Structure 1
Amino acid sequence: MTNFENVNQQIVTVKSRADKALNSLKGILLGIISDDRIDAKEMKELGLWAKDHYDLIERNPFREFMLLIENTVSNEIPAKEAVEDLYWLCQKYEHDSIYYNGITSDLQLLQGIFHGILADGVLNDDEIFRLHAWLSENEHLNSYYPYDEIRSLVLSIVVDKKIEEEERTILTAFVKQFVELRNNEIAEKIERDTSDVNISGICAVDPEITFEGKTFCITGILSRGTRNELQEAIQNKGGISVNNISKKTDYLIIGDMNNACWSYSCYGRKVEKALDLRKSGHTIVLVHEFDIFDAV
């Protein structure tokens, strides 16, 4: 057998093992949630599953699975939420695996466009209108971060067919988040030009937060404190803290640290639901954890 054939066989073997591992994880998750109760022994079993399949960590989406499992206990993510996120991620990967490669390619292309239009340190009118045209031609990226956010922002800028300097600066501040310029002089110029602009992705920018009688839900991994600490602070301010998002939720707090679902190039389960609720007319506000911690 040639070396090439050996390599092919290894690839097939790894893929087969990955598929088997994914199916076994789905089965474990279904079994765990079948009685609507999740205990420490079940979470330990998930941890052992992760340990047994650690050699697959470089293969999508296993890094995301491992991170989510590892962070559940250390970051006080409720076990039920972690299991639901894992199962959601399994389904997302299974249903989108063929489509995902094309999506990933186009999202990488979008990032490259961001890089190109900032390469000279100036975001001119032609670049903005051409970016708008590209976004309009690629609506299949709808619901994938950061397509929704950049398209919404660009639409608001070009709707009157003229671009104000403040709009240009805001767009530059948003785009620079996804670009690592090698030219330090240009990078420093952009930093200076946008130093007064606060951009938080899908989260509300500098939101006014009312606590009394309002309902708050947390998603992701917090970097400034624990969930229990933040929930207690919210309650002390008169707010209501819940674990699941619904039509009654007023604020969804998004953790700053790496979220497994986000790194898979799609919204996390709760964020996706919040966006669906907003599209249906519900006034749920997505806020960054830093804004909440500053407010409490």
Structure 2
Amino acid sequence: MVDLHQEFKNSGFFHEARIDRRSADALVGVAAGLAADGKINQQEAEFLKGWIEVHLCHLGDPVVNILYKRLAAMLSDGVLDAEESVELLEMLHQFAGLPVGSEQIFTTPCGLPLDNPAPTLDWDGRTFLFTGVMAYGPRKECEALIIERGGLIGGSVSKKVHYLVVGSIGNDQWLHSTYGTKIKKAVELREGGAPIAIISEEHWQKVLFG
């Protein structure tokens, strides 16, 4: 895997003895509150960025820094576009679902929905779609790697999609075998004979980087 595994595993954000627990709890609460209506707008994103700057940036913690850096990148042009809004919402759902104080905060998606064995990945002319939060980085950067290799990016789960890549920054939902709507739809299509493969980000990264 590229970068984040050890950063997340050793994160002070999820070890109450090393941080101000109230601030950590507050961030989870803020994330849950902002994501409660199923959408994130420009004003909410700017509020979250400012809140982290005031309350948590001093911690120098990898988890907080990742959220902050991705949020800052989204707002760097002064506009939170629709795609960024969806990605930010998914990230906040991840934060709201993670138990504060838990050491196991980097979880590989359980094997049930994934293709087994993992398929060979072809790039040229193949359509990829991402779901969840990617350890590699912002979704646009992940998509750029596909496009550079001649692949295509899908807009939604359909029979035209060849690979659904499941982000590796998981939450406790995986432990209860519940999956997002993209994965459920992909499973239905796969069981119906559609040539769509559901793969982990770990497999995707291994093929990309060896």
The alignment's TM-score, normalised by the length of structure 2, stands at 0.51
**Partner residue, 2:120:** 208
**Partner residue, 1:44:** 46
Which moves more between the two structures, 281-290 or 254-263? Answer: 254-263
2:144 to 204, 208, 232: 232
Distance 2:204 2:179 in 1: 21
**Partner residue, 1:269:** 181
Shift of 1:23: 8.7
Instruction: Map 1:122-271; keep pairs closer than 5 Å.
Output: 149=112, 202-259=114-171, 261-262=173-174, 265-271=177-183
Per-residue CA deviation, residues 80-135 of structure 1 (Å, 9 max, x unaligned), is 24437879xx9xxxxxxxxxxxxxxxxxxxxxxxxxxxxxxxxxxxxxxxxxxxxx
Distance 1:275 1:49 in 2: 39
Q: How many residues align?
A: 153
* Secondary structure at the counterpart of residue 210 of structure 1: coil
> Which amino acid in 1 is paired with 2:139?
R
Q: Is the 8 A contact 2:87 2:139 kept in 1?
A: no
Q: Is the 8 A contact 1:220 1:259 kept in 2?
A: no
Per-residue CA deviation, residues 230-252 of structure 1 (Å, 9 max, x unaligned), is 21221111100235333321101
Per-residue CA deviation, residues 116-159 of structure 1 (Å, 9 max, x unaligned), is xxxxxxxxxxxxxxxxxxxxxxxxxxxxx86x93xxxxxxxxxx
Distance 1:25 1:290 in 2: 27
Are residues 70 and 81 of structure 1, via their aligned partners in 2, closer, same or farther at CA, if it must alter by over 3 Å? same
Distance 2:176 2:48 in 1: 20
> Runs of 5+ in structure 2 lacking a partner?
1-30, 53-63, 75-82, 97-108
> Runs of 5+ in structure 1 lacking a partner?
1-20, 33-37, 51-65, 91-144, 150-200
Whether 1:287 and 2:170 are equivalent positions in the alignment is no
% identical aligned pairs: 27
Distance 1:281 1:206 in 2: 17
**Partner residue, 1:78:** 84
Q: Is the 8 A contact 1:252 1:284 kept in 2?
A: yes
Q: Is the 8 A contact 1:254 1:288 kept in 2?
A: yes
Are residues 26 and 293 of structure 1, via their aligned partners in 2, closer, same or farther at CA, if it must alter by over 3 Å? closer
Q: CA RMSD in A?
A: 4.6
Distance 1:86 1:225 in 2: 15
Are residues 72 and 263 of structure 1, via their aligned partners in 2, closer, same or farther at CA, if it must alter by over 3 Å? farther
Higher relative contact order (CA 8 A, sep 6+): 2
* Secondary structure at the counterpart of residue 161 of structure 2: coil
Per-residue CA deviation, residues 204-241 of structure 1 (Å, 9 max, x unaligned), is 43421111111101122222444333212211111002
Are residues 26 and 283 of structure 1, via their aligned partners in 2, closer, same or farther at CA, if it must alter by over 3 Å? same
**Partner residue, 1:142:** none
* Secondary structure at the counterpart of residue 78 of structure 1: helix
Are residues 25 and 81 of structure 1, via their aligned partners in 2, closer, same or farther at CA, if it must alter by over 3 Å? closer
Distance 2:32 2:160 in 1: 34
Please tell me whether Structure 1 or Structure 2 has the larger radius of gyration of its CA atoms: 1
Distance 2:133 2:91 in 1: 13
Q: Is the 8 A contact 1:254 1:289 kept in 2?
A: yes
Q: Is the 8 A contact 1:204 1:288 kept in 2?
A: no
